[in-house]
Amino acid sequence: MSEVGVDEYNKLRTVIQTARKLLLLDDEVTLFDEINRIVCEELGFSASVIFIREGDIFRTVSRFSNHPELLSDEIANHTMPVEVVDEIRHNATQIGNLFWMDGRSDIIQNSLGAFIVPTPNFDPSKSGWHPLSVLFAPLFDRDGEIIGFINPDDPKDGTLPSDENSLLLELFANYCSIAIELLRARTNAASRIRILEAQRAQISRLFETTAASRRQEQLTEVLNDFARLMAEAADFQRIVINLKEHNTTRLQLRASFGLTREEQDELAIKATDLRQFEPLTQPEMAIGGVYFFDHNRFSLPDEVWDMLTVPDRAHHDGDGLWHPLDSLTIPLFDFEGEQIGIISLDEPTSGRHPTPSQIETLEFFAAQCEAAISQVVNFQRLERMAQTDDLTHLPTRNFFTLRVDHEIEVAKQSGEKVSVLFLDIDKFKSINDTYGHLAGDNYLIACARVIESFASDSTMVARYGGEEFTILLAKCDSEQAQVEAEKIRSAVESMAIEVENGQKIGSTISIGVATLDPASDSQRYHLIASTELTIALLAAADKALYSAKEAGRNRIATNLLSP
């Protein structure tokens, strides 16, 4: 074996032994830094940079040089569009799996040079290596797709690597690809274990069939669980979940993790709109279903910055390092594809840009979060449909009865009076017979709006059935109830609607008033179930209504419920 052969053989053994150690590393940052160190110290380059693909760009994640002055700050945050990398590969000279382009070539000088950051070390007039020369050693995943590349620069001897050194670099890059795949597989497995543990402990309860688990009042608790679990599984210190308010684009803070009380209060009172997040969810920011805003690459309008809570934290600019101005955003969608909210994440524990494993974990939790929210929204929609009359859009008889049950239970404790009004449109059948059922429906709707106009926070108006309406007046005695009833009677008497032929039609209304006074015999009232008292109170109001009808209609009659 010649002296040269021995040198190459020893270098090969060193590279292989060193590369094998990469397979044992359990942190991507350390792995990338070690790869660059080996490229420089064992393969004879003055500098080395690693780019990893994130969506439609390749981003610098690590750089190394024994001469730091060779690595400008521009390299630290450098990105290259996928299209540029593809064009370099297409026009480059291929050496095995390596790609080489001379910096003096026309395509670099005229078009691609703007995407290449030079690390000048040699005088190009005296060296075979130009500051804009490019050497790529691709990194592949198990499917043969390029996930990144090693970019060695400025060979120490100033020349293009020999065939032997090029082969060593290619072999080393293959080891690096294997090391990255193994590390990501181990990390993904650990993430899946955390996910499964979270599922068993917390998430399974979201899919119970009981209606109670889907109610609005429990959604905040569920979302706070998600925020905490996402933080623990994906290693983020701050998470905010905003949901869209019904029939608007306004966002409401529903859950958070890692925020101070002051920050929560500040976000809760901010008038944030879903449309304000559009600059944070541009296609070029997408990594799967997650959107990464890198402040070095993108800019935001002032109104978007105003709605964000940017923590006052010390920061360091560098390869793949998280900056307080960076953010991660995950849109939430319902089963029909309509956006229903936003998850915002900040401050990864590692202090670095999100890894593929973190993105996968966040996508999982976001999907589960969407399912939970959609279940609650669908339940509420069905509940509203069941509780709302189709014609008048007033609450239904059943929902009204439940509300009376509740108010009577409250009254039994407080001693406050509760009144109910039973209302019936006088001679409504004649409207249908004379003008048709469409006119009758329109008159019912008009009555509903008039009656509803007298409602307050302690009042509930419902359609009880047919041409009958009911009104609940909490904390209202018989005299006050009669005053309210008279206002409604007078307003309906003055109301008229126009039918198709231009003729105006109107009618009157009879009202029965009944009042429950728990203070009159509190001991006995406490022994009677609220549901029974509701039935009795409604029956008393109905009896008073019958009296008003018998007395000639268009009047009010009262009935004080006795225990």
pLDDT digits (tens, 9 = 90+) for 445-458: 999 999 999 887 77
Q: State the pLDDT confidence band at 72, using cuts at 50, 70 and 90.
A: low
Q: What is the pLDDT of residue 319?
A: 66
Q: How far apart are CA 39 and CA 556, in angstroms?
A: 95
Q: What's the first-to-final CA gap in the chain, in angstroms?
A: 114
Task: Give me the CATH code for the 206-379 domain, please.
Answer: 3.30.450.40
Sketch the domain layout of the chain as residue ranges.
3-184, 206-379, 397-560
Given a cut of 70, is residue 198 above it in pLDDT?
Answer: no
Structural tokens at position 42: 């064992």
Q: State the pLDDT confidence band at 300, using cuts at 50, 70 and 90.
A: confident
Query: CA Rg, the chain, in Å?
Result: 37
Q: How far apart are CA 291 and CA 192, in angstroms?
A: 21
Q: 37: Cβ–Cβ under 8 A, 6 or more apart, which residues?
A: 48, 64
Given a cut of 60, is residue 215 above it in pLDDT?
Answer: no
Q: How far apart are CA 424 and CA 407, in angstroms?
A: 23
Given a cut of 60, is residue 305 above it in pLDDT?
Answer: yes
Domain 3-184 has CATH 1.10.645.10: no
Q: Identify the three-state secondary structure at position 130.
A: coil
Structural tokens at position 504: 């105006």
Q: What is the pLDDT of residue 241?
A: 92
Q: Which residues of 472-488 are buried (b: 16+ CB within 10 A; e: fewer)?
A: bbbebebeebbebbeeb
Topology agreement, domain 3-184 and domain 397-560: no
Structural tokens at position 26: 């359990």
Instruction: For domain 397-560, give the CATH superfamily.
Output: Reverse transcriptase/Diguanylate cyclase domain (3.30.70.270)
- For residues 47 and 35, the answer to whether their CB atoms sit within 8 Å is no
Residues forming beta bridges with residue 219, ordered by sequence position: none
Average pLDDT for residues 508-517, to the nearest whole number?
A: 95
Q: 443: Cβ–Cβ under 8 A, 6 or more apart, which residues?
A: 425, 428, 431, 497, 505, 507
Highest mean pLDDT among 38-42, 92-96, 105-109, 446-450: 446-450
Q: State the pLDDT confidence band at 207, using cuts at 50, 70 and 90.
A: very low
Averaged pLDDT score across all residues of the chain: 82
Residues forming beta bridges with residue 258, ordered by sequence position: none
Highest mean pLDDT among 17-31, 179-193, 384-398, 527-541: 527-541
Q: Identify the three-state secondary structure at position 59.
A: strand
Q: Quick one: residue 177, left, alpha or beta (phi over 0 = left, psi -120 to 50 = alpha)?
A: alpha
Q: State the pLDDT confidence band at 359, using cuts at 50, 70 and 90.
A: confident
Average pLDDT for residues 267-291, to the nearest whole number?
A: 86
Q: What is the pLDDT of residue 4?
A: 46
- Catalytic residue among 34, 370, 452, 467, which? 467
Question: What DSSP state is assigned to residue 144?
Answer: S
Q: 130: Cβ–Cβ under 8 A, 6 or more apart, which residues?
A: 102, 103, 104, 124
CB neighbours of residue 131 within 10 Å: 18
Q: What is the pLDDT of residue 214?
A: 44
Residues forming beta bridges with residue 116, ordered by sequence position: none
Q: What is the pLDDT of residue 388?
A: 82
Q: Identify the three-state secondary structure at position 112.
A: helix
Is 532 a catalytic site residue?
no
Q: 467: Cβ–Cβ under 8 A, 6 or more apart, which residues?
A: 424, 425, 428, 444
Q: State the pLDDT confidence band at 3, using cuts at 50, 70 and 90.
A: very low
Average pLDDT for residues 495-506, to the nearest whole number?
A: 88
- For residues 26 and 186, the answer to whether their CB atoms sit within 8 Å is yes
Interhelix angle 163-201/356-387, rounded to 10 degrees, is: 30
Q: What is the pLDDT of residue 112?
A: 79
